[in-house]
Amino acid sequence: MARKKKETNPAVEETAKANIIGAGEVVNQQITKTLETNFMPYAMSVIVSRAIPEIDGFKPSHRKLLYTMYKMGLINGGRIKSANIVGRTMQLNPHGDAAIYETMVRLSKGNETLLHPYVDSKGNFGKSYSRNMVYAASRYTEAKLEGICTELFADIDKDTVDFVDNYDSTMREPTLLPVTFPSVLVNTNSGIAVGMASNICSFNLRELCETTIGLIKNPDFDVFETLKAPDFIGGGQIIYDRKALEEVYSTGRGSIKIRAKYAYDKSSNCIDITQIPPTTTCEAIIEKIIEKVKAGSLREISDIRDETDKSGLKITIDLKRGTDPEKLMKRLFKMTPLEDNFSANFNVLVAGVPRVMGVAEILNEWIAFRSECVSRRVYFDLNKAKEKLHLLLGLKKILLDIDKAIKIVRETKEESEVVPNLMIGFGIDEIQAEHVAEIKLRHLNREYILKRLDEIEDLKKSIEDMEDILNSRSRIKKIIVEELTKVAKKYGKDRISEIIYEADEEEEIVEEIPDYEVNLFFTRDGYFKKITPLSLRMGGEQKLKEGDAMMYSVSTTNRAELLFFTDQCQVYKSRACDFDDTKASVLGDFVPTKLEFDKDEKPIYMAVTTDYKGYMLFFFENGKVAKVDMNSYATKTNRKKLIKAYSNKAPIVAALYIPEEAELVLTSTAGRNLLVNTGAISAKTTKDTAGVNVLTLKKYHKLQSVRFYNEGEFAKPHRYRTKTLPAAGATLSSEDTAEQLTLE
């Protein structure tokens, strides 16, 4: 049976709209007003409440999770299921269990994201260096707080930080954590807000504590004395660039160059990469190396595989015989993410305002924040001590006559009158009398009361000391220094990232290309062959496609540069080593496909050079010749394609590469021949120059062909030469005509 469509009552809809202010109305509003009223609050919420860390080093999501675990007693107890923690955290963070669990994963020891993780994990928490190693669901994993978290929550119950209501006002949560060390720079922290972002690198805890102590003792302390460079959980090698680090340390923005760490296994002829930059993954590195191998840029590699297991990260690269591993790694650093840059952006919220600060400025802000925490803790303890002293002073008066106190209590008829009668009988206030009235019967002995009274002098000294601390900034700083020293001693570790110096990297990296003699062949249809002399001697007749013909052949080396000029005024650059050795019995490589020519583009000429000396000559139907310095085609960036390789103003007849000046014979459709020395043609550096007039042509005639002049080819060569250009040339003499017939 078909379900009946629900009918709507227009009158009911109108009534519903009337109950919502502005519902159903179309209002013309300026875009700036809309942004102010709608987008700006959203942007501020993302900046202040989500993406940017505060001076304690945490975003709200981190803080809510860790505080929940702290209140669950997971700082000393055993691990519990992650799903339980996630569920409890939703009392403070109502953004979904997936987001909370992902936050826990990044804070965990197992994920290896943080230099000093805050969550002690058990189970599969994935790996930050691999995008394929995905963490298990929260119902399978377990977690508790790491020991270092005691430094995050130290004295949090002593009013050291402010507390606010959670989203439904059923709980209270801290706005900051009273961290006893500058955690904001201890662990990596990144976030993307609206219109701004933050990307903080990690520093060695021991070095950072020493640096903070140095700044406390001397505001002009040079942070480079103790804080040499960042330190990353993944290790790697940091290329020390003092200028770049100074920029990061002073401005909070800059770039830090990190490269992978490797070892060469001589027995199996392979390279094992065990540490990579924190900005990349194993999969990204392997994919890039495979891409370069397929493109022919890395011929020394025979295989690559990911051997990462429970023991840690490992990428193995098998090398071909005779490969120098150090030279190969230098090329890999240049061509792949094995060397990468960490883009620092030290954007931190201070008093709710985002600020990009340098290292010293952040540490000074943290010192000010920690000083406030210590002052509030001391003030809290001072009030507690004063309250206790007040009670003990009341107890001291009771000591004068315990029997009197017992008598007052016994003879008082109503319970409500006990406290007032004690106040009158001993001259104490209500708080003191209440305390005396609550003393257990077993404690109404002189020994108990005397022990309590012995604390009075100690309390007075302690109160005096705490008041002195509150009035002395130097004593507060001394307390912070003592705390930092303890943290560095208890939780400090040796550096993981190695520092190498830029001076070691100045050697120019040159690609190793095997050098041996080869014979190159290029056909009219665009097929190319590279054959070694031995193979050429042993091979038979050159195999060609039906209708094709050999256009160019040359003997050179495997390091030669190849320039393929096309009918679209473009040149594609390659190298002889980019082509595989082959035999005469095969067709060879089809150049347009190999070099990825544009659609319907055809090669017309191949130039071979090893030093880019000499000239390229382009001959056009209108009798003009363009002489271009070969060096104009040399590029430092190894570009594969150059546009405007020659002029397109007239149809091209031929192209020739001449390493040195030569004599050429130009023949027109009128049967005239002109003998020209290329030295008489002026060279240009502009590749697409239109050229100069060389052959004078009559109407309806054009340049037909060009060839090199062979000595003795003409009986009287001077007949075809001319002192000035352009010239019309001369028809063949009877002697040359007869010789031409004889040659045929």
Pick from 672, 682, 661: nearest CA to 725: 682
The three-class DSSP label of residue 573 is strand
The residue whose two tokens read 């290790």 is 235
User: What is the Cα 243 distance to its own chain's centre?
Assistant: 20
User: Is residue 293 exposed (0-12), middle (13-18) or buried (19+ Cβ within 10 Å)?
Assistant: middle
CA 719 – CA 725 distance, rounded (Å): 15
Measured between its terminal Cα atoms, the distance across the chain in Å is 97
CA 113 – CA 129 distance, rounded (Å): 8
Tokens of 561: 């540069």
Helix, strand, coil percent content, the chain, rounded in steps of 5: 35, 20, 40
CA 651 – CA 144 distance, rounded (Å): 78
201-225: b (≥16 Cβ within 10 Å) or e: bbbbbbbbbbbbbbbbeeeebebee
φ, ψ dihedrals at 325, nearest 5°? -65, -35
Which position among 129, 135, 140, 501 bears the catalytic label? Answer: 140
| Amino acid letter, 621 | E
| Amino acid letter, 637 | T
Asked if the peptide bond before residue 533 counts as cis, ω within 30 degrees of 0, the response is: no
CB 58, CB 50: distance < 8 Å: no
Give me the sheet containing 119-122, strands edge to edge: 80-81, 142-145, 119-122
- Mark whether 612 is an active-site residue: no
For residue 316, the tally of other CB atoms under 10 A from its CB is: 16
User: Is residue 362 exposed (0-12), middle (13-18) or buried (19+ Cβ within 10 Å)?
Assistant: buried
Pick from 347, 319, 343: nearest CA to 331: 319
Q: What is the 3-state secondary structure (H, E, C) of 424-436?
A: HHHCCCHHHHHHH
φ, ψ dihedrals at 449, nearest 5°? -70, -35
For residue 603, the tally of other CB atoms under 10 A from its CB is: 25
Question: Hey, which residues are catalytic here?
Answer: 140
